[in-house]
Amino acid sequence: MSQSTVRGRGRAPTIRQVAAEAGVSRATASRVINGGHLVSPATRAAVEAAIERLGFTPNPVARSLATRKTGSVALVVPEPNTRLLSDPFFGAIINGLSLTLEQADLQMVLVIARDSTGTRRAARYLINGNVDGAVVASHHRDDSLNAELIASGLPLVFIGRPFDVAHRHYVDTDNALGARLATEHLLGTGHRRIATIAGPADMTAGIDRLAGWRAALEAAGLPADAVVHGDFTAPSGQAGMAELLEAHPDIDAVFAASDLMASGALRALGAAGRRVPEDVAVIGFDDIEIAESTHPHLSTVAQPVQDSASRAGRMLVELLADPDCDPDPVVFTPQLVLRETA
């Protein structure tokens, strides 16, 4: 059967016509089209040549049913829409992951699970075969979704060490080290009353950054009592800084566990008439774009957010290609970036 004969009918060629053109069974043609391995090189070449001659294009729905693959991967974000849209951290995550998945010919699907109803809906969607795997970002202690996804066997990678679940497929930054580097720099430049605006106590990043700050102060024999908690947003940083100034008016430096919280702290310090860095030095964490647009420009701890998302995507692609592989966790080393606030 010739290419002109098939196209002359005005209909797309079928898999039966491909099989007939190649001189093989329909089942054999299907195995070749759907990536099966139980086919000889000669047979595969014959089917591929027939596909080329006929201009055959596989039906994506039929192919997904045959291979049980959807060609899509979920990015799961257990946060409110407002946080997703306002925090540049998530923009970097989306950019890094989507670019990596595109290279693997996979489509990224965004799944937001911001409350108990959303969590149940997300679990049904993810576990019932709508995606081939998932990357989970910004997870909290009480996220029941994490345990459900792990128990389901869905290929899964976390951005950030997962909380209270045994799962080794994750990409993280050494948050405790980053906080310790920031605090030790403040100590080395003569500051002795160093406060912190810590992150949420139900997230590993918040816990680890608080631990690094505390370890540096305890090693220096200084009190580690000037602590407030925020939620990684600018308003929480502004409120936390105001609370610290009222409770500890003698503080001369602050480590904020995110750049957004540090930007809020700068506003509170300005409102209180405190000069930065002359009266109070400030260091944030993340090194996102806002760090270079604050006044004065923000010193911070840099973590490679986009690279972390990209590496999480590559890890998931490895798991999809070989479900028996067991990649080690990846932990990036943070770097201190000094600008005008410290």
For residues 187 and 250, membership in a common domain is answered with: yes
Q: At 58, which CATH number?
A: 1.10.260.40
For residues 228 and 315, membership in a common domain is answered with: no
Q: How far apart are CA 282 and CA 253, in angstroms?
A: 6
Residue 172's H or E segment, with its range, is strand 170-173
Contacts of 66 (CB under 8 A, 6+ apart): 30, 34
pLDDT at 6: 42
* Percent of the chain predicted with pLDDT > 90: 62
Please give the tally of structural domains in the chain. Answer: 3
338 lies in a domain? Answer: no
243 lies in a domain? Answer: yes
17 lies in a domain? Answer: yes
162 or 34, greater pLDDT: 162
155: nearest Cα among 323, 27, 325, 303: 323
For residues 289 and 233, membership in a common domain is answered with: yes
Q: How far apart are CA 322 and CA 319, in angstroms?
A: 5
The pLDDT tens digits for 41-96 are 888 899 989 988 998 877 655 555 455 678 999 999 887 677 777 788 888 999 99
342 lies in a domain? Answer: no
pLDDT at 5: 38
Average pLDDT of 99-126? Answer: 88
Task: Please tell me the total number of residues recorded for the chain in this structure.
Answer: 342
The pLDDT tens digits for 276-294 are 999 999 999 999 999 999 9
For residues 120 and 267, membership in a common domain is answered with: no
Token pair recorded at residue 259: 């750049």
Q: At 133, which CATH number?
A: 3.40.50.2300
For residues 203 and 293, membership in a common domain is answered with: yes
114 lies in a domain? Answer: yes
pLDDT at 8: 41
For residues 163 and 185, membership in a common domain is answered with: no
Residue 336's H or E segment, with its range, is strand 335-337
For residues 193 and 169, membership in a common domain is answered with: no
Among 21, 47, 67, the domain boundary falls at: 67
Contacts of 339 (CB under 8 A, 6+ apart): 291, 292, 296, 297, 298, 299, 300
7 lies in a domain? Answer: yes
Give this prediction's pTM: 0.78
202: nearest Cα among 148, 142, 256: 142
Among 67, 89, 112, the domain boundary falls at: 67
pLDDT at 59: 62
Token pair recorded at residue 217: 């102060």
Average pLDDT of 198-215? Answer: 96
**Which residue's entry shows tokens 């505390």?**
214
Kindly indicate the confidence band of residue 36, based on its pLDDT and cuts at 50, 70 and 90: low
Average pLDDT over the chain, rounded to an integer: 89
Token pair recorded at residue 83: 């946080």
Q: How far apart are CA 119 and CA 151, in angstroms?
A: 15
Q: How far apart are CA 312 and CA 9, in angstroms?
A: 47
Output the CA torsion 224→230→232→234 (10° steps).
-110
Range of the domain at 133: 72-173+306-332
- Start-end of H helices in the chain: 3-8, 15-22, 26-33, 41-54, 60-67, 81-86, 88-103, 116-127, 144-152, 175-188, 204-219, 234-247, 259-271, 305-321
339 lies in a domain? Answer: no
For residues 25 and 42, membership in a common domain is answered with: yes
122 or 69, greater pLDDT: 122
Average pLDDT of 1-14? Answer: 51
Amino acid at 49: A
